Amino acid sequence: MEKIDILSLKPEELESILVENGEKKFRAKQIFQWLHVKRVFDFEEMTDISVQLRRKLSDIFCIKGLFTAKRLESSIDNTVKYLYRLSDGNYVETVLMKYSYGYSICVSTQVGCKMGCRFCASAIAGFVRNLEPSEILMQIYETEKDSGIRVSGVVLMGIGEPLDNYDNVLRFMELLSHKSGNNFSLRHLSLSTCGIVPKIYELAELRLGLTLSVSLHCADNDKRSEIMPVNKTYNMNTLIEACRHYIEKTGRRVTFEYAVIDDVNSSDADADRLAALLRGMNCHVNLIPVNKVKERSYRTARAGVEEFAKRLGRRGINATVRRTLGSDIEAACGQLRRDAINNTNGGADT
């Protein structure tokens, strides 16, 4: 029988499995705290549990650990990037970033990505599978252990499309914020999506208090389809409608991510279109200089981002320019995993 992934279980689920196996209810909370509060991932180290029960636990359950395959620290800004190997040999990336208010962690939600955004390195290495809730959580727990800090912000902006792994991502958030466990406030979590419209409606119903970040990158429907194939399924207007609904339902401001790309989306006409699209909406625009991906020719001149922010400002749209962190360590998502795969393939392209 395959062992159960214990870190993906809610306390009440753990409780019913334990009771089925002849154990007392209260053990569930105790074990949940060993895992999510004390961060002990070896049943043998759970010292207030009898040796007999520890044996039983390791017969029924498994704890899927992460192995640090690579750890890169930026000499410019202390950003740390981890390449983690999962228990089945696949890789994901996690980035720890330092801001004035504390640390923020960027986690992956899938091994690879199906969305195929033209400028994104994650798309190049292809999609393999969804991450389990425990594997998303472990990126945080492992990184906190390694760095000795507690993160104050979590962003689901690593490899993968969170809304394409909806159930596992929801469960991850429930576990992360569980009162009997880590008790992390979802107000400090941002979920970034390329625009899986039906899931935005579902998420709105839950009113989780998180920040919804939408990777817009273009305000022209046809051009958006060229750089983001998802737009052919859920076009820009239906996406904006879903965002308006989300804002109305949750009372939360939506963030739009916009990677400024030379000759693609940064002209005066692009600023006009973006301003018209977002006028009157309770939103915020985050401009990002596009990260260079060696297989792609997309570029941004830094001045181009500042200039585009000014253009938007003149049109009444507030935009911030996101600081580029970890530029010396290939901190853009997907780049390390792609390199790891290429190396194990003897350098063959994937």
Residues that bind ligand SAH (CB under 6 A): 115, 117, 119-120, 157, 161, 192-194, 215, 257, 259, 288, 290-291, 293, 332-333
Helix (H) or strand (E) holding 231: helix 230-233
Q: What is the CA radius of gyration of the chain?
A: 21
Is 333 marked active-site? Answer: yes
The nearer residue to ligand SAH, 57 or 293, going by C-beta atoms, is 293
The nearer residue to ligand SAH, 133 or 160, going by C-beta atoms, is 160
| Residue 140 φ/ψ, nearest 5 degrees | -75, -50
Is 93 marked active-site? Answer: yes
- Residue 150, helix vs strand vs coil: coil
Q: CB–CB of 272/316 below 8 Å?
A: no
Query: What is the closest distance, in whole angstroms, from the C-beta atom of residue 120 to ligand SAH in the complex?
Result: 4
Q: CB–CB of 277/241 below 8 Å?
A: no
Query: What is the closest distance, in whole angstroms, from the C-beta atom of residue 85 to ligand SAH in the complex?
Result: 20
Convert 252-291 to b/e letters by CB count within 10 Å (16 or more is b). Answer: bebbbbbbbbeebbbeeebbebbbebbeeeebbbbbbbbb
Query: What is the closest distance, in whole angstroms, from the C-beta atom of residue 38 to ligand SAH in the complex?
Result: 31
Query: What is the closest distance, in whole angstroms, from the C-beta atom of residue 133 to ligand SAH in the complex?
Result: 17
List all residues 6 or more positions away from 13 whose beta carbon is below 8 Å from its beta carbon: none
Distances from the Cα of 66 to the Cα of 4, 94, 171, angstroms: 17, 11, 19
Query: What is the closest distance, in whole angstroms, from the C-beta atom of residue 30 to ligand SAH in the complex?
Result: 36
Return d(Cα 257, Cα 127) in angstroms, integer: 23
The nearer residue to ligand SAH, 30 or 238, going by C-beta atoms, is 238
Catalytic annotation, pick one of 93, 135, 142, 161: 93
List, in sequence order, every beta strand (DSSP E) within 153-296.
153-156, 189-193, 211-215, 254-260, 283-289
Q: Which two tokens stand for residue 303?
A: 């001045």
Query: What is the closest distance, in whole angstroms, from the C-beta atom of residue 11 to ligand SAH in the complex?
Result: 29
The nearer residue to ligand SAH, 91 or 119, going by C-beta atoms, is 119
The nearer residue to ligand SAH, 15 or 257, going by C-beta atoms, is 257
Which of the residues are catalytic?
Answer: 93, 333
